[in-house]
A and B are shown apart, each in its own frame.
Chain A
Amino acid sequence: MNPDKEATGTPTAAATGKPLYKRILVPTDGSDVSAVAEHAAIEFARAHGSEIVTLSVAQSYPAYAAAEASMAVDPNLDNDALRAWAERNVQRVSAAAAAAGVACTPLTVFSHSPSDAILDGARDHGCDLIFMGSHGRRGLSRLLAGSETQKVLAEAEVPVMVFRPRAGGG
Chain B
Amino acid sequence: MDPPLYRPLFRRILVPTDGSAASERAILAGVAFARALGADIVGLTATPGFRVLSTDPEMIEDTADQYAAASRERGRRLLATIEQAAGEAGVACRLEQTVSNEPWEAIVETAKRLGCDLIVMASHGRRGLSGLLLGSETQKVLVHGTIPVLVHR
Tell me, yes or no, whether A and B come into direct contact in the complex with CB atoms closer than 8 A: no
Residues of A within 8 A of B (CB): none
Residues of B within 8 A of A (CB): none
